[in-house]
Structure 1
Amino acid sequence: MNDRKGIMDAGAVALSGQLGKTIQRLRKNYNLSLSELAEQSGVAKSIISQIERNETNPTLATIWRLSQALDVSIDRVLATQEDDPFVELVSRGDTPTLVSDDGKITLAITGWIKTVEWLQWYDVIAEPGGELDSDAHQRGSIECLSVLEGTLEVEVGGVVEKIETGGTARYRCDRRHTIRNTGTVPARATMVCILKAAVME
């Protein structure tokens, strides 16, 4: 009970200072309107507006809803310094993964969920003989495949290129594309997919 009171007291101190500015700054960083943040958090638009103007002291539950919608911890929302560092750690066990149909290629999703609609990146491990066949992404999308260990092969529209260790292939992924490990040893790579890119002519 004392711990809970301590949290509430700390929150009250923070609320008297920079909370409103912090909420507003985080909202603008994500290019969210008041209405969009209200929809995502379940907190009324009028309440969020009052919080940003430091005209009200929200409950801890309200702060929690806003922090969830802004994908930050309550501690960060309550932070009083605008230049506080942002560090988010995700353990290997908590990192989501995708597996190719043949089970030989694993993609650990190391990208941020907030950018998934326009920027995705993965840590790729491909066993010998592994093949990852992907459908076309939206028009203008580009994929960058950087091989860290071993050798990979990429095929796009009938064109096949081999990528050695240390090399990078950039290619249109708005058409069917395939990544293969035709070597005899496992390969590892970083793959970045840029969606909503400028359409290439």
Structure 2
Amino acid sequence: MAVKDRGGSPLESGAQAITGQLGKTIQRLRKAYNLSLSDLAEQSGVAKSIISQIERNETNPTLATVWRLSQALDMTVERVLASSDDAPFVEKLTRADTPMLVSEDGLCRLSIIGWIKTVEWLQYYDFHAEPGGELDSDGHQRGSVECLTVISGALEVDVAGTVETVKEGETVRYRCDRRHIIRNRGSVPVHAFMVCLLKAAVLD
């Protein structure tokens, strides 16, 4: 990341100026993602010893190294370099960037607002169901639990034949390691918030 002057020699001042905060930023993001040095090394292709030196501000990494680390941490190079050591982790997705699932009948939509890095154990969605809409899901892994909070309207939740009606402001929690169906039997659209815990040890 060094800049060259007209004579071709590197000007290290800019690199030196950012290294102090860069090491702290890399370490902060790594810990925020709950990654060990070995994990980040494996995901980025940067040697564990080099990452350790960067975090301790003992080396000036090349731009290529910063790029590989930023890719592994789901951040742009610019944001990694611009981050201060005490800045909070902030990631913004626009409506267009937010992936969406649609039920087979086309009447239910789940915007995936959860973090991709937690998808194997924690998923959460912004759920909309048009009148007559039905979301029919197979069971997830054993012990999984789903929490559904209705923001407006009312939904019917059918878990292996046990049916519960959930109205505005109410929350229902249920085992989702078996077939479960969410229906909008009303005449108005329904808005809800859904969280799925795929490894709910409390039920094991």
**TM tier, smaller:** 0.7 to 0.9
1:163 is aligned, of 159, 163, 166, to: 166
Contact 2:29-2:89 within 8 A present in 1 as well: no
Aligned letter for 1:13?
Answer: A
Aligned letter for 2:68?
Answer: R
Deviation at 1:22, TM superposition (A): 2.5
Contact 2:24-2:55 within 8 A present in 1 as well: yes
Contact 1:133-1:179 within 8 A present in 2 as well: yes
Distance 1:155 1:4 in 2: 66
User: Helix, strand or coil: the match of 2:27?
Assistant: helix
| Higher mean C-alpha displacement, 191-200 vs 127-136 | 191-200
Structure 1 residues 10 and 128: CA distance shift in structure 2, 3 A: farther
Deviation at 1:184, TM superposition (A): 1.0
Using structure 2 for the length normalisation, give the TM-score.
Answer: 0.87
Is 1:54 matched with 2:57? Answer: yes
Contact 1:139-1:199 within 8 A present in 2 as well: no
Distance 1:136 1:4 in 2: 59
1:9-64 superposed Cα distances (whole Å, 9 cap, x missing partner): 6554111x132233223223322222211111121223212212322211122112
Percent of paired sites with the same residue: 69
Counterpart in the other structure of 2:74: 71
Is 1:38 matched with 2:78? Answer: no
Paired residues, number: 196
Counterpart in the other structure of 2:123: 120
| Higher mean C-alpha displacement, 19-28 vs 147-156 | 19-28
Structure 1 residues 101 and 56: CA distance shift in structure 2, 3 A: same
Structure 1 residues 124 and 9: CA distance shift in structure 2, 3 A: farther
Structure 1 residues 148 and 78: CA distance shift in structure 2, 3 A: same
Using structure 1 for the length normalisation, give the TM-score.
Answer: 0.88
User: Helix, strand or coil: the match of 2:42?
Assistant: helix
Aligned letter for 1:152?
Answer: L
Contact 2:143-2:198 within 8 A present in 1 as well: yes
Deviation at 1:145, TM superposition (A): 0.6
User: CA RMSD, aligned part only?
Assistant: 2.3
Distance 2:139 2:16 in 1: 51
Which consecutive unaligned segments of at least 5 residues does structure 1 have?
none
Deviation at 1:115, TM superposition (A): 1.4
Distance 2:109 2:58 in 1: 50
